């Protein structure tokens, strides 16, 4: 008997018919003699609706307001878990719903962006052994003060992989509205190809650079705890994509995939004193505000006494980031602040970069041939990212996909 964790996203449970379809997929595993824990997201569109209601009332500027935000937006997953458990029960399959606080899944108190500290599995293990399907509300936990917490957008993926790790599950199946991981977004790049296997490091870079198939923290957890994970479609029986160790990727391509993110905003601080401690003065307040900084570049003046500092933050955090910089202006002593939401990040990714040279040169050459200006560059061992004007996103994706030989035959 295997223990399988299945995760179904919002489009997979968008209405009652789709919830019944999910129940049938759960039944297939049960019929194979397996124990099953299911993690569900809110029904498609529900979380956005709940967030919209909260933001009509509060700007979420205090810890107390963020706690109430979590109390509201976590309710979407609770509804779905109850509906799926009820559907399974009506099909003659014993099941019960579990909310984050009932497991319990314990998190820190960074509300709306909480991180998991621990998962207590005794009760849910006992229920599974008793023959009941565990239907878990994803995206949520409970903090040390007993308040409901949420794990950030896409947090149900993290819930599923974390639960699979805690339960020592044999496999974690992530069901989405696509049938696997592609070399690029197939909605934009029609010649994109599905990957049969992809290394954890590659999918981690893809997720962190904007690919929407899996949430970044879930991939980190799968890699760190060696959770066997696959990405499948809720709407077909097609073979999906398996996340594997790098050694299992037989064909080392130069580039495995092209990712993009429109969830970017750029801030530039001009004429900052080029002295020790200035970087801490800039990025400390952003850390205190729970704002992630991605790309960073400094341009030192000819005399070396001043520098312009440019960095990117998530687009939804831009206003709070600007406020943090304005509040710290006396300490940073910048001359002007410029912000821009009209940018996008394009990334080429692949473990093959370790053994192939000339990737950056080819990327830059392809973009210049299309008259696309590069605003910021950042690199890692298996990734090169550039920031460009958002209007060139689709042109850049298609051009790079072709240039690196990723187009389907």
pLDDT of amino acid 279: 92
Residue 306, classed as helix, strand or coil, is strand
Strand 343-349, strand 257-261: pairing: antiparallel
**CB 34 within 8 Å of CB 3:** yes
Per-residue confidence band for 150, with pLDDT thresholds at 50, 70 and 90: very high
Beta strand extents in 190-314 (DSSP E only) = 194-195, 197-199, 229-233, 241-244, 257-261, 265-273, 296-300, 306-313
Element (H, E) at 82: helix 75-90
Q: Name the pLDDT band for 254 (thresholds 50, 70, 90).
A: confident
* Pairing between β-strand 194-195 and β-strand 181-182 as defined by DSSP bridges: antiparallel
> Between β-strands 241-244 and 116-119, what pairing exists: parallel, antiparallel or unpaired?
unpaired
Rounded mean pLDDT of 96-106?
97
pLDDT, residue 178, reads 84
Q: Is the pLDDT of residue 247 over 80?
A: no
Query: pLDDT band at residue 185, thresholds of 50, 70 and 90?
Result: very high
- Nearest-angstrom CA–CA distance, 325 and 277: 15
pLDDT at 357: 86
- Secondary structure class of 199 (helix, strand, coil): strand
- At residue 271, what are phi and psi to the nearest 5 degrees? 55, 50
Residues with Cβ < 8 Å from 48, sequence gap 6 or more? Answer: none
Among 103-112, 230-239, 334-343, the minimum mean pLDDT is found in 230-239
- For the segment 349-372, the average pLDDT, to the nearest whole number, is 92
Residue 250 pLDDT exceeds 80: no
pLDDT of residue 27: 97
Q: How far apart are CA 208 and CA 185, in angstroms?
A: 14
Candidates 73, 280, 23; CA nearest to 175 is 23
pLDDT at 99 over 80: yes
Tokens read off for 246: 């790098």
Closest CA relative to residue 348, chosen from 381, 296, 385, 392: 385
At 409 the pLDDT is 59
Average pLDDT value for residue range 47-58: 95
Q: Quick one: pLDDT at residue 384?
A: 95
- Chain centroid to Cα 170, Å, comes to 23
Supply φ then ψ for residue 5, to 5 degrees. Answer: -105, 125
Angle between helices 16-31 and 75-90 (to 10 degrees): 60
For the chain, the average pLDDT equals: 93
Side-chain half-sphere CA neighbours of 306 within 13 A? 11
Q: Does the pLDDT of residue 216 top 80, yes or no?
A: yes
Residues 191-212: tens digit of each pLDDT: 999 999 999 999 888 887 777 7
Using only C-alpha atoms, the chain has a radius of gyration, in whole angstroms, of 23
């Amino acid at each position: 008997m295997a223990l399988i964790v299945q995760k179904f996203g919002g489009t997979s449970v968008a209405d009652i018919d789709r919830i019944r379809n999910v129940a049938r997929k759960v039944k297939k595993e049960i019929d194979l003699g397996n124990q099953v824990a299911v993690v569900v997201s809110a029904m498609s569109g529900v979380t956005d609706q709940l967030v919209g209601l909260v933001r009509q009332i509060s700007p979420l500027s205090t810890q107390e307001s963020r706690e109430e935000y979590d109390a509201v937006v976590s309710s979407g997953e609770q509804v779905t878990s109850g509906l799926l458990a009820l559907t399974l029960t009506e099909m003659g399959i014993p099941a019960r719903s579990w909310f984050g606080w009932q497991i319990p899944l314990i998190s820190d108190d960074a509300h709306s962006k909480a991180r998991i500290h621990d998962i207590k599995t005794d009760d849910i293990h006992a229920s599974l052994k008793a023959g009941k399907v565990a239907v878990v509300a994803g995206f949520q936990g409970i903090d040390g003060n007993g308040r409901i917490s949420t794990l950030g957008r896409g947090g149900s993926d993290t819930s599923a992989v974390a639960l699979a790790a805690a339960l020592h599950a044999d496999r974690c199946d992530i069901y989405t509205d696509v049938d696997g991981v592609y070399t690029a977004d197939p909605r934009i790049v029609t010649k994109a190809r599905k990957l049969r296997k992809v290394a954890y490091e590659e999918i981690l870079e893809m997720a962190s650079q904007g690919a929407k198939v899996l949430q970044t923290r879930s991939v980190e957890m799968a890699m760190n705890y060696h959770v066997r994970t696959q990405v499948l479609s809720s709407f077909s029986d097609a073979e999906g994509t398996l996340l594997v160790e790098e050694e299992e990727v037989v064909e080392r391509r130069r580039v495995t995939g092209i990712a993009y993110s429109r969830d970017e905003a750029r801030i530039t601080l001009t004429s900052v004193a080029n002295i020790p401690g200035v970087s801490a003065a800039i990025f400390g307040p952003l850390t205190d505000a729970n704002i992630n900084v991605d790309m960073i570049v400094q341009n030192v003046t000819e005399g070396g006494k001043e520098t312009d500092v440019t960095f990117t933050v998530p687009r939804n955090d831009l206003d709070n980031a600007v406020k943090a910089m304005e509040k710290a202006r006396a300490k940073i002593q910048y001359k002007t602040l410029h912000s821009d939401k009209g940018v996008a990040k394009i990334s080429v990714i692949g473990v093959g970069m370790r053994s192939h040279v000339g990737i950056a040169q080819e990327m830059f050459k392809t973009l210049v041939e299309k008259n696309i200006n590069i605003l910021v560059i950042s690199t890692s061992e298996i990734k090169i990212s550039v920031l460009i004007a958002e209007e060139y996103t689709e042109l850049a994706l298609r051009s790079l996909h072709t240039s690196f030989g990723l187009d389907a035959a």
